[in-house]
Amino acid sequence: MKAKIFSHKQLIGTTEIQGHAGMGVLYGEFIPTEFYFDNIQKSVWEFWETNKPDYEKWHSLRFNAQLENGVFLYPEGGYTIDDLEEFPNEPKRIDIAGVAWEVINDFFLTQPTRPFVEEPWNELQIEQKIAFEDELHKEIGTKGHNFFDIFNKRKKHQLSGAEISAFCHDQRNDDVLFEIKNANLDKRFALVHLTWTGKKEKEGYPITTFYKDYDEFKYSKMYPNKVEWGN
């Protein structure tokens, strides 16, 4: 399946993804854009030049891979791009590690060309994905901390320690489904009603509902929404 590769909101390349589903590893030849050569390639070279890569700098590049059916992958193991300065003319490769099996099975193996959401739910564009993630971080207090937060005794939001990746959006309102990773939760997805205040919300907000997996979300939320939308 074809995929677009982004750094922040910029398209940096494309790939024809292959993979080892059982291990959650996807890979493919990486075809760079001019933006990659002008803005990203030097960082890739620097990443491979040391025995102690700067992972904080690497993660700041904020890579995303979007399959041609609209699904944004959420690889817990992250991304690597094989591109060495010493071999500039060699084919480049991208590895996407730690993708959940159910995501690979649903959207990569069994239904690669089918839309993965039903109206009123929409797939995301990269600009939306970035905006939703940034807003959620602000609302749960994991970005833009205020000095006076240290005196605040409010209970932390359940997602405050989670890694998040926006997945799809209800076009009728501000409900966004996020794929999540949190050692303290046995849930894979969280439905969040964003408030768009641009700051940390009061205790209990943003309102969040958790789902064990995407199937649970589909059958208990998306499909009933589809029936309501049709009526």
Tens-digit pLDDT profile for residues 148-207 = 444 455 578 889 888 999 999 999 999 999 999 986 788 999 999 999 999 999 988 999
Mean pLDDT of all residues in 202-215: 93
The number of residues in the chain equals 231
Where a domain ends, among 110, 139, 159? 110
Q: What are the backbone dihedrals phi and psi of residue 19, each rounded to the nearest 5 degrees, phi first?
A: 175, 170
Please give the tally of structural domains in the chain: 2
Residue 211 confidence (pLDDT) above 80: yes
Residue 214 and residue 158 share a domain? yes
Q: What does the pLDDT read at residue 148?
A: 44
User: CB-based burial of residue 200 (10 Å sphere; 0-12 exposed, 13-18 middle, 19+ buried)?
Assistant: buried
149 located within any domain: yes
The helix/strand count (H/E) of the chain reads as: 7, 12
| 205 shares its domain with 157 | yes
Q: HEC string of 139-205? A: HHCCCCCCHHHHHCCCCCCCCCCCEEEEEEEECCCCEEEEEEECCCCCCCEEEEECCCCCCCCCCCC
Q: 125 and 28 in one domain?
A: no
Task: Give me 56's structure tokens.
Answer: 């904080």
Confidence band of 35 (pLDDT split at 50, 70, 90):
very high
| Band of pLDDT at residue 113, cut at 50, 70 and 90 | low
> Does 167 share its domain with 100?
no
Quick one: 95 and 47 in the same domain?
yes
Q: Which residue has the higher pLDDT, 125 or 25?
A: 125
Residue 60 lies in domain: 2-110
Q: How far is CA 208 from the centre of its chain?
A: 18
CA angle 153-155-156, nearest 5°? 115
Rounded to the nearest integer, the mean pLDDT of the chain is 88
The answer to whether residue 116 sits within a structural domain is no
